[in-house]
Chains A and B, each alone.
Chain A
Amino acid sequence: MLEIRELELNMGPQHPATHGVLRLILKVDGERIIDAKPVIGYLHRGTEKLFENQTYPMNVPHTDRLDYIAAATNNHAYCGAVEKLLGVEVPRKAKFIRVILDELQRISSHLVWLATHALDIGAMTPFFYTFRERELILDLFEEYCGARLTLNCMTIGGVPEDLPEGWIEKLQNFIQIFEEKIWDYENLLTDNRIWKKRTIGVGVISPEDAINYGLTGPPLRGSGIKYDVRRALPYEVYPELDFEIPIGKNGDTYDRYLVRMEEMRQSIRILKQCIEKMPKEGEIQAKGLKFIKPKPAEVYFSVEAPKGELGFHIISDGSPKPYRVRVRPPSFINLQALPHMVKGHLIADVVAVIGTLDIVLGEIDR
């Protein structure tokens, strides 16, 4: 009889496939994983403490730095929470601009996910393809608000600026280009034999476990639960828009890949409807928000960020600064299921599971 020798292997915090400073302590028996323990906190900046010491509008740029791949949805969740606290109604045109920015951000975040996920597994070509199209989105953002990543593109009560002249035409141009390009990515991966072997049956999570672990976003939908904040707890103009929530069947890495690809198509659908329905003229900023000083109250507001449900939980105490702000980061809670998902798989599959969870360490460590 051979004796089983367990080995402890340290993966990260400096590792190209961990998408930041994630450290995993893997317990392995040969190539098989017996246990995994994520160690986080390397990027902790005390954002929640900072929030308590600044006035409500001063906090908006800080939210950019949470999920730095998708800043627009972070701004949206924070501004939405303060608006809910104050009982402010955002003007209709601003709602459409917010939805357009959110959906563009979702596509750009999914493109980064696809690029790095495929690169980690060994397919290099999608990286060049997706970053080419992501550049077009970043150019659109740059033209709208001057920044490409840390957008700061929403204010409490609306959006800071109206869309520049000719922006909608550029957006239409992008939609036209992008609709074809999704097929390019799918041609490279969807029926690829190597891709299928690396993803089908890897990192399976059952619907019961997915709910029990609190997963949201594509990891939850990949397991077949039809839950999307845009439909479950609608905000802005989503009730008027026609789109579907793609779900998977088996809850493995391949299904989550398909869900995200379909989500990008649905985002394009939403963008088209927004261009059609958006009012040409109108206010973009609610009035009477020069000085924000809410009465004591507690609210929770969440949006569907590309990674899952991103929520802000704010308590006010009657002063211009919030008493406590809690971020409900989707990546933090999704990462918790990683040890469950990698047990029994090979070390190379850990990389695939990290990729499929689509984590961002800026949001996990805050």
Chain B
Amino acid sequence: MSEKKGQPEYQSALENSFVLKLKEKFKEEILDAKTYSSELTIWISKEILIPVCKDLWEDGFIYLVDIMGIHYPQREKKFELSYILHNFKNNERLRLKVEVKEGEPVPSLTEIWKGANWLEREIFDMFGVQFSNHPNLERILMWEGFQGHPLRKDFPLKGIDTGAAIYPDVYPEGVKPPKGGENA
């Protein structure tokens, strides 16, 4: 019989030697640090994102695993970006979190990692977060000219009317395809 253990709790990691080292250099800009289920997360302000990443790169975090965007419509800073970095030397991982207001650009990491290119494009596409100094910031999964950002919480699940006409020559404007099932 396996017993259910409780869900782990967040623990403060401000005393972590690694965080202390960063804090010494960047002072107040390191906002918070916590661990959850042995994953270290550090909240930083977006101004120091590039210097921190360059520092971490020197420390061995040479691999960018993933970037995730999150939308919090109620907060003042509506968007949160979550970067995961990997260190090959001791297989360590850490997560950097940055909060941004709507319309504020985030510095692009493409100058450090080429792999950040598409990841940032996807966040721009899905959330409308702008990245400064990005070489090619355009939509990636949705098509050019699409209105809206699908992964925002206020975007309807059923989608939006994009105004694209379906078979305009077969069904002229105002005429809809016949309903299936009833009179078939």
The reply on A190 being an interface residue by CB < 8 A is: no
Give the secondary structure class of B's interface: loop
A89 and B5 contact, Cβ closer than 8 Å, known pairs A40-B140, A44-B142, A53-B157: yes
Which residues of chain A from 13 to 47 have a CB within 8 Å of any chain B CB? Answer: 40-41, 44, 46
- Check B65 for interface membership: any CB of A closer than 8 A: yes
The answer on a CB contact under 8 Å between B141 and A40 is yes
Minimal beta-carbon separation of A70 from chain B (angstroms): 19
Please, which residue of chain B has its CB at the minimum distance from the CB of A315? B70
List of B residues within 8 angstroms of A46 by Cβ: 150
Binding site for B on A (CB under 8 A): 40-41, 44, 46, 48-50, 53, 84-89, 91, 209, 211-215, 225, 227, 232-233, 283, 286-289, 294-295, 297-300, 302, 309, 311, 313, 315, 323-324, 326, 328, 332-333, 336, 340, 365-366
Asked if residues A41 and B5 are in contact (CB atoms below 8 Å), the reply is: no
User: Which residues of the other chain, A, contact B139 by a CB distance below 8 angstroms?
Assistant: 41
Beta-carbon contact of A86 and B7 below 8 Å: yes
In the complex formed, the residue of B with least CB distance to A293 is: B7
Number of contacting residues on B, CB 8 A?
Answer: 43
Cα-based distance from A41 to B143 in the complex (angstroms) = 8
A361 to B65, CA, bound (A): 20
Complex contacts, B154 vs chain A, CB 8 Å:
none
> Given the interface contacts A49-B150, A298-B36, does A87 sit within 8 Å of B6 by beta carbon?
yes
Complex Cα–Cα for A86 and B5 (A): 8
Which chain B residues in 1-51 approach chain A with CB under 8 Å? 1-8, 10, 36-37, 39, 41
Bound state CA distance, A233 and B94, in angstroms? 13
Report the separation of the CA atoms of residues A326 and B119 in the bound assembly, to the nearest whole angstrom: 12
Q: Which of B110-136 contact A (CB under 8 A)?
A: 113-115, 117-119, 126
Confirm or deny: B100 has a beta carbon within 8 angstroms of a beta carbon on chain A. no
A116 to chain B, nearest CB (A): 24
Q: Is the CB of A212 within 8 A of B88?
A: no
Question: Roughly how many angstroms separate A283 CA and B2 CA in the complex, as a whole number?
Answer: 8
Q: Enumerate 27 A-B pairs (CB-CB under 8 Å) in ascending A order.
A: A41-B141, A49-B151, A49-B155, A49-B157, A87-B5, A87-B7, A87-B8, A88-B4, A91-B2, A209-B114, A213-B115, A214-B64, A214-B65, A227-B88, A232-B91, A233-B91, A283-B1, A297-B7, A297-B10, A297-B37, A313-B82, A313-B84, A323-B70, A324-B71, A326-B68, A336-B117, A366-B141
